[in-house]
Chain A
Amino acid sequence: MDESLLPNVTQFLVQIDPFDKLPKAVVRELAQQIKIIYVGQGEVVDLSSDKQEKHLYIIRSGEMEQRKKNGVLRARLESEDLFGFTFLDSEVNDEQGYQAIAIENCLLYLIPHSALQTLFKQTPEYAEHFASQAQVRLNSALDVVWSNREKGLFIRKVKDVASGRIAVVTADMSIQAVAHEMRMIKRTSCAVIYENDQIVGLITDRDMTKRVIAEGYPIDLPIKGVMTSTPLIVSPDDLVLHAASLMMQYNVRNLPVVEDNKVVGLLTTSHLVQNHRMQAIFLIEKIKYAVSVNELAELTAERQAIFEALVEGKVVPETIGKVMAMIFDAYTRRLINIMIDKLGEPPCEFSWIVAGSHARNEVHCLTDQDSAIVLSDEATANDRIYFKHLAEFVTQGLDRCDYPLCTGNYMASTDKWCQPLNMWQHYYKKWVANPEYERLLNISVFLEIRTVFGNPQFEKQLHECMHTHIRNNKEFLGILVKDATNTNPPLGIFNSLVLEKSGENKQTLNIKKYAINLIIDLARIYALAVGSDALHTEARFEAAKKAGVLSDDAFKNIMGAYRFILSFRFGHQLAALKEGKLPDNHINPDSFGSFERKHLKDAFRIIADQQDAAKLRFGNH
């Protein structure tokens, strides 16, 4: 029998993994046991229901989304993707309860688990294809889905995770004696070095290879000569997340845990990797090695899960914003590198600059793209074509990775925002000299800039240029204040004036517009007033306080208000994600209790007070 009964079904199956690894006759056999269903957009396929026979699902056409029971996105699936692998291990059936939701109308092929189990009983080696298939397909999904224990890792303390294995030596000990202590006595990869009861350095087995063996450095000399001086350390009460951020930021693998100048343990990346999945690090690693936009785009679900876990873990908003910004940076750099690989080395010096909330490291799950390219003044017209392609690729690529395009086109792919340094300097001069209408909008976007790729000098020069112009135009701050205080926070939450009147978000309060932006604007004004280059909102208030422009009391108040409102918004967005909805900034005043209501009112009042104070201090009277 060489003709297939159902050529259309069989042909489809034999070309997709793992069916392509089975003999054709076996696939034909399986094809004849398939059931076909059609699910409409928005319909849910509940895999955890134990009433019916379980199936392996193959998407023939359409797109689906898998979500855990609590709504966390697990994976996005399209034609040729499979789900419903619970047959692989009957033990996990109950644990793995998740739903598949049709994003569009879908045609699904269902293979009964019993048919597969019969097949595997006859030929056990076939099962392996399905096992590896499940692993590959669900690998990212598994990484996304954290057990409660892992989710908690972010907010657990370093002392709960670190090991006690670390060598403690003195600066005058010979390299060999230190190596002996590390290898033979403590069996550790790392030693902390003391001198006069102070921690002065750190040495790792990698350092030994790099600085001693490779260099032919004499091993009877004191360790002091090859150690890393003033090492990064963490305290046992620090959050694991903080330690992980340090590791990422400084690219180190070992962090001694120190309490009252005493070494109590060691935290290494392998600790995190072995015992737990340190998601943000993993994701950034994956981003670094992705070779295509498609590959990068597949990581979105993971990014969202990290965001969700950070919010659920009640990590302070500042850290959430920073971690999400690090990830955003990694995507941007990777896309730039992918394109440089395609186009060849850039023809002149440039820097890729991000603006707005991305520059401020205040990234959340709704953040869109704000970017620009600053070119060296030597750039020729031809050179600019190169950067036009680069910018187009990166901005479109980021869009594919669910970083929406900027609706105002404040992106490097817009000609106006891909210019040589002298043009940018001219822009700033013009904006500050006459900050009206569009110019005010332009400068408020580009008041915060941060280099993500390329020559960081350009950003520095632009900052200097901006500060000089602002110092020379006494009116400028006043105009900024006037604009920033045009919108006022609601005096009462039920103040119907601020609730949206119509449309989808009727009777809700836009917390971004009426609270968060107002605080960010105030912070910017204070930072500019004291000539600070700080970008982060909290750091800006800090700078103003140090310069004596903001009282201690006012500082504490506005910081409290800012953090509370940010957590409040994150909580709101998390709730939306859990319900499978798109997160937004619209809060319903009826949806929260008196505790939040009271705190929100306090926060609004503080913002209003600060606006008045700023008007008095910086306003043009």
Chain B
Amino acid sequence: MAIFDYFHPLSSLQRQREAYLKTHQLPDLLKQSLSCELPSLEAKCAELSFIVLDIETTGFDPKQDEILSFGWVEVSNLQIDLTSSRHVYIQNSDKVKPESAVINHITPQMLANGASLHDVMNYGISQLGNKILVAHGTMIEASFINEYARKYWKVPPLPLLWLDTLCLEKHFATAIDHYSEVDLTLGGTRKRYGLPEYNSHNALVDALSAAELLLAQQKRLSRGSKDSFGRLYRLSQRK
């Protein structure tokens, strides 16, 4: 491995995962998921699969606040596939014991009755495989998932593969003008790409909005240069 590649954030995440698997006692589901090989630096984005995720919460503090709903949609071959879209409301999590959680089938629309947080988390991890998690501002999603992992799986923050469309956008903006003040909100960013304005908001609509933005950003990045995941990932790291 070239020394340059060794320090690539994707390479360090790979090492982090290997160490994590060795050091911690993990539930089987988690072990399987984290054992999946990460995409290579040269992998073409067009050949990878992404899960674009959005959660709605009661606030910003994962220790105090609760997740209200999940929305996600998958992107593969540079296509958003709405058959993969899911929107789930979370039942009051106190009522369901983690031990009782099984991986229920999550139907596209678990709205009326909702699902238990444990079901959704287990289902999500089982579906993850080597897909890349995407969110616009991954901080919230990652911190709530890590809090769940700490509380119920008794493990430190998960070395998941996250891609942040907000950080990507920040890179693009500062590459043009270092001091520029750009509206980096999902709505503001979409406007710059000529993407339609959505009036309704829920976890799934926002996940879909971020997925469309991801396609637009990938297009922008692949213009006139090689389409490699390594490059996309590096640009999506927080500065």
| Residues of A near any B CB (own CB < 8 A) | 1, 3, 5-9, 11-12, 31-40, 60-62, 104-105, 107, 110
Contact = CB atoms under 8 A, between A and B. Distances in A.
Given A32-B82, A32-B83, A35-B82, A8 B205 contact: yes
Q: SS class of chain B's interface: helix, strand, loop or mixed?
A: mixed
Interface string B182-224: 0000000000011110111010110010011001101110010
B79 A5 contact: no
A36 B108 contact: no
B78 A37 contact: yes
A99 to B, nearest CB: 18
Interface of B: 78-83, 85, 87, 108-109, 111-112, 193-196, 198-200, 202, 204-205, 208, 211-212, 215-216, 218-220, 223
Contacts, number: 76
17 contacts: A3-B109, A5-B87, A6-B82, A7-B205, A8-B198, A8-B199, A8-B208, A34-B82, A36-B82, A38-B78, A38-B212, A38-B216, A62-B194, A105-B193, A105-B216, A107-B195, A110-B79
Find the residue from A1, A7, A36, A60 having the highest chain B CB count within 10 A.
Answer: A36
A36 B215 contact: yes
A35 B80 contact: yes
Contacts of B200: 7-8, 11
A36 B199 contact: no
Contacts of B194: 61-62, 104-105
A32 B108 contact: yes
A60 B79 CA distance: 14
Nearest to A39: B219
A35 B79 contact: yes
A36 B79 contact: yes
B212 A107 contact: yes
A224 B198 CA distance: 73
A5 B207 CA distance: 12
Given A3-B111, A9-B208, 5 more contacts: A8-B198, A35-B81, A37-B80, A38-B78, A107-B196
Given A11-B200, A105-B219, A36 B109 contact: no
A5 B211 contact: no
Nearest to B214: A38
A493 B202 CA distance: 67
Contacts of B112: 1
Contact of A32 (B85, B195, B211, B220): B85
A61 B219 contact: no
Nearest to A34: B82
Contact of A6 (B79, B85, B216): B85
B8 to A, nearest CB: 27
Given A6-B85, A104-B194, A36 B212 contact: yes
A38 B82 contact: no
A31 B87 CA distance: 14
A40 to B, nearest CB: 5
A105 B217 CA distance: 11
Task: Please provide the 4 A-B residue pairs with the shortest distance between their CB atoms, ordered closest to farther.
Answer: A38-B215, A36-B80, A7-B200, A8-B198
B85 to A, nearest CB: 7
Contact of A61 (B81, B108, B195): B195
Find the residue from A11, A62, A107 having the highest chain B CB count within 10 A.
Answer: A107
B205 A6 contact: yes
A40 B212 CA distance: 13
Contacts of A61: 194-196
Contact of A40 (B82, B87, B208, B219): B219
